[in-house]
Amino acid sequence: MPVLWRWIESESLITFVKGAGLISLNQDEGGATVGVKHAHSGTTAYRADWLIGADGANSSVREMLGVSMEGPVLAHMASVFFSADLDSVLAKPRPLLSWIYNPDFCGVLIKHFDDHYILMSPFITQEQEMVRLGASYWSRMIPKVIGADVPFQIRTQGNWSMATQLAQVFRKGRVMLVGDAAHRFPHTGGFGLNSGVQDAQNLAWKLAAVQESRATESLLDSYEAERKPVVALFAEQSVSNHFKLDEVTNHLNITNRGLMSATKAFETAPIKWLPSKLKGRFADALMKLAFSKTRQLTETSARAHELRSRIAQAVPGQLEHFLSTGLEFGYAYSGGLVIPERSMQPKVGAGVVDYQPTTWPGCRLPHALISRGGVEIPLLYVIDKRKFSLITHDDVGWAQALLCLPLPYVSELVLIVAVPSKAEDRAELVSLFEVGEHGAILVRPDGHVAWRTTLPGMNAVGDLEQVVRKLTVSYRRKIASAVVA
Ligand SMILES: Cc1cc2nc3c(=O)[nH]c(=O)nc-3n(C[C@H](O)[C@H](O)[C@H](O)COP(=O)(O)OP(=O)(O)OC[C@H]3O[C@@H](n4cnc5c(N)ncnc54)[C@H](O)[C@@H]3O)c2cc1C
């Protein structure tokens, strides 16, 4: 957070107000007004043309809009953030995640930077010790995980719900939701932060076009239409990873399915009617009973050896949980801002683990290094942030083609000639682009491919004209309405 804050503070276009909380939100046709309460100095009203709710899983913006979340809560979690020197306790290099199974505690230890860690565990009901006692529970439990003689310092602790939920709508009038405010996944997959950044990237260029009066508001409808199917895939994968862990832990009789059933049972009659104290004790005893089989993990008997080896055999099957580059980078948008391809071979379905770079329409333009003024630079850095970039190896052919397009269409395009820094890399770059020596790829400001062709520029002028007309339909409406006005 401090790194982000420093960046934001140095950005002259941003007024950054720290220690302030949203208390009211009203919108009309021209914009939104928010009331903000400052930690020390009263309240302020801010007026904006557009408002983006990026205020996390318990979003006040979402609540004030009256937008509900759709989907189930899978588990309740408690976690503690602490610092300790665990170099002598953990394997080297420090593992990112360590699953802890002992008769007192079952959960996950997450490595953060330096000597910071998060230890977390599910609970069944709020009345359990873990929730009721908070820091004092963790002070007792941390030594049972890291060793009684290792000093530690608790920084914060808290509870949260692991859910798989999407907001009913991502936009209401002048207000948009991004990140956890729009979707919540189980942490099993690590899609949360990434997908929030992708939301912002999808929305930013559209909002800029509308704000700068280059396009009508209808362009913003594509935000939810494009992002919702992608985040639904991430949610599905995270849930699948969560329950697939049972293949490892069912050998200990501890499963996420069992946890979900117990959680539901405690929220249902007759257990939910039990007096609080009894309910808490009952849940604590149930968990303790479930953890008891973990005793075998440290035994030397043949049975214990067999148990450990069954668990070890189930671990490689968890690969998708930890490696999902295929899904994170390989998803494709569809809809009005992507021209579907008919003539070429259909794209092979994106896998979860392996990312297959492709310029298939809707996909993210693959990473490549090109030369600009003698300097090697990633292609994704040079695509235009406002207009559509037409990327080709054939500068002469496509420059000629652009001369044949109507002027309003040309003004929406930027021609980028992809020259590799080393001549010997040319064949590789041509093959990566998948459009041959003379074709071209049309890329949106967010780096996603809108259209591609293998035809040389002069043979593709008619197609390009139709494509740009379709892609900029909301832009032209704006121009037309300005002319009428
Ligand atoms: C245990 C755990 C492990 C995770 N691991 C991963 C991982 O490996 N990879 C990954 O990609 N993601 C992971 N995530 C998810 C990731 O942390 C979130 O998806 C991400 O932080 C969401 O970003 P956000 O900006 O949408 O919301 P947040 O990070 O929650 O930020 C919201 C901000 O809004 C502020 N705010 C809230 N309400 C108000 C209000 N009323 N007024 C003013 N400000 C307000 C908050 O203070 C906060 O600063 C994990 C989450 C958890 C809980």
192-220 pLDDT tens trace: 999 999 999 999 999 999 999 889 999 99
Q: Which two tokens stand for residue 108?
A: 């996950």
**Residues 418-441, mean pLDDT to the nearest whole number:** 93
- pLDDT at residue 425 is higher than 60: yes
**Nearest CA among 110, 79, 125 for reference residue 259:** 125
Share of the chain above pLDDT 70, in %: 96
323 CA to middle of ligand 1, Å?
A: 21
327 burial level (CB within 10 Å; 0-12, 13-18, 19+): buried
* pLDDT of res. 484: 40
Atom of ligand 1 nearest to the CA of 57: 30
Instruction: Kindly state if the Cβ of 196 falls inside 6 Å of ligand 1.
Output: yes
pLDDT band at 478 (very low <50, low <70, confident <90, very high): low
Share of the chain above pLDDT 90, in %: 85
- pLDDT at residue 477 is higher than 90: no
- DSSP label at 105? -
- In whole numbers, what is the pLDDT of the chain averaged over residues? 93
165 CA to middle of ligand 1, Å?
A: 15
Q: Which two tokens stand for residue 208?
A: 């800029």
- pLDDT at residue 367 is higher than 80: yes
Helical (H) or strand (E) element with 25? strand 20-28
For the chain, the structural domain boundaries read 20-70+164-242, 73-163+248-319, 338-484
Q: What is the pLDDT of residues 229-276, one digit of tens each?
A: 999 999 999 999 999 999 999 999 999 999 999 999 999 999 999 999
Dist CA 425 CA 366 (whole Å): 15
* pLDDT of res. 103: 94
> Are 365 and 380 spatial neighbours (Cβ–Cβ below 8 Å)?
yes
CATH number of 338-484: 3.40.30.120
* pLDDT of res. 342: 75
Return the bridge partners of 52, or none.
176
* pLDDT of res. 361: 95
Give the dihedral of Cα atoms 380, 476, 474, 363; nearest 10 deg: -30
Q: Specify the residue for token string 């450990």.
A: 308
Q: What helix, strand, coil percent values describe the chain, rounded to 5?
A: 40, 25, 35
* pLDDT of res. 345: 63
* pLDDT of res. 480: 46
- pLDDT at residue 331 is higher than 90: yes
**Residues 120-149, mean pLDDT to the nearest whole number:** 96
22 CA to middle of ligand 1, Å?
A: 16
The terminus-to-terminus CA distance of the chain in angstroms comes to 46
Q: What is the pLDDT of residues 267-317, one digit of tens each?
A: 999 999 999 999 999 999 999 999 998 999 989 999 999 999 999 999 999
- Which of 193, 234, 322, 324 has most ligand 1 atoms within 8 Å of CB, for mutation? 193
* pLDDT of res. 475: 72
Instruction: Kindly state if the Cβ of 35 falls inside 6 Å of ligand 1.
Output: no
* pLDDT of res. 148: 95
Dist CA 331 CA 364 (whole Å): 8
- pLDDT at residue 479 is higher than 60: no
- DSSP label at 347? P
- Which of 108, 184, 187, 327 has most ligand 1 atoms within 8 Å of CB, for mutation? 187
The whole-model pTM stands at 0.92
Q: Which two tokens stand for residue 35?
A: 């009331």
60 CA to middle of ligand 1, Å?
A: 13
- Distance set, CA 32 to CA 19, 65, 203, 440 (Å): 21, 11, 17, 41
Return the bridge partners of 38, or none.
20
pLDDT band at 481 (very low <50, low <70, confident <90, very high): very low
- Cβ neighbors of 217 (< 8 A, separation 6 or more) are 210
Q: Which of 36-40, 165-169, 459-463 has the lowest mean pLDDT?
A: 36-40
* pLDDT of res. 421: 85
CATH number of 20-70+164-242: 3.50.50.60
Dist CA 334 CA 260 (whole Å): 35
Polymer length of the chain: 485
- pLDDT at residue 99 is higher than 70: yes
* pLDDT of res. 113: 85
- Cβ neighbors of 427 (< 8 A, separation 6 or more) are none
**Residues 179-185, mean pLDDT to the nearest whole number:** 97
CATH 3.30.9 assigned to domain 73-163+248-319? The reply is yes
